[in-house]
Chain A
Amino acid sequence: MIACSASLMTAWEARESISIPTSWIVANLWLIPAVPMAAAGLIALLKQPRRKTAAALSIGGLSFSLLLAIVAFAHVLTAWGQGTETREVVNFNWIDLGATHLQLGWILDPLAAVMLVMVTFVGLLIFIYSTGYMAHDENFTRFFCFLSLFAGGMLGVLIANSLLLLFMCWEIVGLTSYLLIGFWYHKPSAAAAAKKAFLTTRVGDIFFLLGMVWLFAQTGTLLFYNNGAGAMEPVALATLLSHPAALGLSAATAIGLLIFAGAAGKSGQLPLHVWLPDAMEGPTPVSALIHAATMVAAGVYLVARVYPLMSAGAAAGGSTVSLTVVAWVGALTALFGALVAVAQNDIKRILAYSTVSQLGYMMVGLAVGGVAVGMFHLITHAFFKALLFLGAGSVIHGCHEEQDIRRMGRLRIAMPLTFLTYSVGMLALSGFPIFFSGFWSKDAIIGAAHAWPISQGPFVLLLLGALLTAFYMMRQVAYVFFGSWRGPHHTHAHESPLAMTLPLSILAAFAIGLGLLGTPAWPWFTSFIESKSLSVDMHAFSEPGLLPLMGFAILLVFAGLGAGWWLYAVRPIENADQKDALEQASPTVFGWLANRLYFDELYEATVLRWYAVLAWLSDWLDRRLWGGVVTAVSSGFRSLGLVNKSVDSQWIDGTFDKGCEELVTGGGVLAWLQAGRTPGYLRILTLGVVVLAGLALVVGAVTGQVRL
């Protein structure tokens, strides 16, 4: 990761700034994810006991990012107000691929700006909350290191202008999710849950990667916006639409579906939802930050980012295949989550399934109503779901780590502030009219679903889901805060410290206030996201069909709340073993719902079994076949070595040794000559003289010089 960021930084030195002279904030937008990541790096170097330093670094880093996010948000606001271009992009070359370059970049547009502020703000509140919640945990420092790393990764996802950069930060976020779910890794259930989360999201990520590669192959770019050359811009989209994939679909549809598969994994849509409830094994701040407000929202954000791709080629007033699939998957997920949440007894698991359900709502909103509709619900949901999770954490903390709602009760007396804020969250989630943000955001989705020309199926499913949402939230509140105290007799619950209750209050305020941004009369949010002009228009309420629909939805909400109240609060729940009212009514259906509609068991029996067979086969192949091949090759080499050795020792060495022996013998012979045998020398000497003299005489005689 360090090497990657280093390469990014050095490549950025040679950046080519594409847009008009960028303002300071857009040019330095990269600081927003970089600072928390740097903080994580620094904390990683600390020792465990330095808690204050770790917390200070984390909170300081994220505060700095929050400030920058606010500056960026203000920048976009002014651009929107002035009517200038609200989307600004900075791209740079990262890797040279021969003639072309692989580019990365970041983007600042209304969508990104809103998400940045939300993530940094909610994140900061949860960081502060964690200092109180994890105060007794001995791995405090490690927790904040991972939290900071997560914040950096998530912010990177938000500002990425390149699908590749988004994927890289996506993986960082997935990694930190794994680390944080399995934070208490000594617990086998926590370790298993972390593994399950990672593997399930991995399945989605594979499809994501396939889609990414296909996109790059077809269009040659992974940038979203690049002065007309980006993948989300008309030229590339036209290319994708013209290329056919399989089954009569175009490449655009296929890529869109693949990318949605990745989003489905991360956002817990059917059938890749199984990891989200198990992810509650992590500490509550983790559940609040990652699995309610931000990371799971990354999937929705991804779909919003590639929305031009997914909606390309839609006939006027119609929809594309991708978006239809998204709508149906989202609607089914919404209903499924709500159904299962009705029968859960763990306070966090109820909220987890609620998150699954609400993510379905967001997906439907994107598919049927466009980016603004889905994103508005995401923003409001982030606040009130984080509020609910932090409240649940407060409850758990106050009940001395008890998580079963059947063992709580009457907490509205013991923990009044928690009760108050939790109720605000509950009402927002249920969609209590007018004063709570959830009502406006959910109603926008329901309205768009009703107006969807393709089918009314999602609309019906969403209505059912709304009914059930109100019901199970009231059930939960009744169990936890009403009735009598069903915990251990000698203990009492106590209110949580200020570090925990202050963020709750702030979030509650937002849960109420945000609704004002999305009313039909003053659709600030929609206008901001779509960069349109804005005005207050009370006549929007008199749009045909709007008020009746709104009224019907309100009716359903009240019905759900009332049913819940009647079943669980009118007759106070006295003891822990008392059977749930629904369970008494219909044990079999309740059993199905309590067992999560047996999805995990289904996977266990099919996918996992098949996977186990595959693993066994691989092992067998590895040990027998590949092992055999390797052994054979190595035996071949060994025998070759032996042959080599014998040749070497017998032939070569033998030859050499013999040669040396001959040499020694020869040397001995020569040495014999030098042994100092004087008589011998004398004889040779004399013989030589005789020979020479004779020769001289003979030659002389022959030539006539010597007169013989």
Chain B
Amino acid sequence: MIFGISIAFLLTAILTVLGALAAALLKNLVHCALSLTVTFAGLALLYLQLGAQFAGFSQILVYIGAVAILVVFAILLTRGAGIPEYRDFSSSWLAGLVIAAAVFALLGWAVARSFPANIAASAAPAVTVQSIGAALMSTYVLPLEIVAVLLTVALIGAVIVAMPESRTPKSGAEASGGK
């Protein structure tokens, strides 16, 4: 226990942060995507350490299994005709960095200043998948349905947006223009 935190946590945390940094700094897009995956994995581990097994596993399933793959697909699909000539970082990257640092500073300050006394680590809540399922069907049934609709809409929307435009023949316009 270094500074009140366990080694396992420390290592996982370092892994996560490094993965995020790698995603930020790497030039090759695919490498970025893969480091993103590493970050997702680190986060899943952290969830497991916190006792949120369901969240952890769903993180692995959804994020690593779907979102990361999706990102890789997108990168591959937008490889483009040639190698991009542009630089990787925007011309005003410093401003973005500064802002990000400001955000971190704000958050860090808030965290540091808000726990003057040690809070006793309470016991982990008793969670089972069954209780989650029951809760989903009773207390959280409305958000469940809404998310279902949302997912449907997103699915349809994504399909439509990404669908290639069908070249409809302009027969109707030609026929009317020929009179």
Contact = CB atoms under 8 A, between A and B. Distances in A.
Contacts of A683: 92, 95-96, 99
Given A694-B106, A707-B114, A687 B99 contact: yes
Interface in B75-119: 90, 92, 95-96, 99-100, 102-103, 106, 109-110, 113-114, 116
Interface residues on B, range: 10 to 19
Nearest to A687: B99
Contact of A687 (B90, B102, B113): B102
A544 interface: no
B103 A708 contact: no
A690 B99 CA distance: 8
Contacts of B116: 707
A697 interface: yes
Nearest to A686: B99
A693 B114 contact: no
A553 B103 CA distance: 147
A297 B41 CA distance: 138
Contacts of B95: 683
Contact of A686 (B103, B109, B113, B114): B103
A678 to B, nearest CB: 10
A708 B113 contact: yes
- In this complex, the member of B99, B110, B114 whose beta carbon has the largest number of chain A beta carbons within 10 angstroms is B99
Nearest to B102: A690
A690 B96 contact: no
A693 B99 contact: no
Nearest to B110: A697
A684 to B, nearest CB: 9
A686 B110 CA distance: 17
B103 to A, nearest CB: 5
Nearest to A689: B103
Nearest to A691: B102
Contact of B114 (A690, A694, A708): A708
Contacts of A689: 103
A679 interface: yes
Contact of A693 (B90, B92, B106, B113): B106
Interface in B111-167: 113-114, 116
Interface string A659-690: 00000000000000000000110110011011
A690 B113 contact: no
Contacts of A693: 106
A682 B90 CA distance: 13
Contacts of B110: 697
A689 to B, nearest CB: 8
Nearest to A682: B96
B114 A679 contact: no
B105 to A, nearest CB: 9
Contacts of A682: 96
Contacts of B106: 690, 693-694, 697
Contacts of B92: 679-680, 683
Contacts of B90: 679
A693 B109 CA distance: 12
B119 to A, nearest CB: 13
Nearest to B104: A690
Contacts of A686: 99-100, 103
Contacts of A690: 99, 102-103, 106
A490 to B, nearest CB: 90
A680 B90 CA distance: 10
Interface string A85-125: 00000000000000000000000000000000000000000
Contacts of A706: 114
B77 to A, nearest CB: 20
A689 B92 CA distance: 19
A683 B103 CA distance: 11
Contacts of B102: 687, 690
Contacts of B103: 686, 689-690
Contacts of B99: 683, 686-687, 690
A694 B99 CA distance: 13
Contacts of A679: 90, 92, 96
10 contacts: A679-B92, A680-B92, A683-B96, A683-B99, A686-B100, A687-B99, A687-B102, A693-B106, A707-B116, A708-B114
Closest 8 CB pairs of A and B: A708-B113, A690-B102, A686-B99, A687-B99, A679-B90, A683-B99, A690-B103, A690-B106
Given A683-B92, A683-B99, 17 more contacts: A679-B92, A679-B96, A682-B96, A683-B95, A683-B96, A686-B99, A687-B99, A687-B102, A689-B103, A690-B99, A690-B102, A694-B106, A697-B106, A697-B109, A706-B114, A707-B114, A708-B114
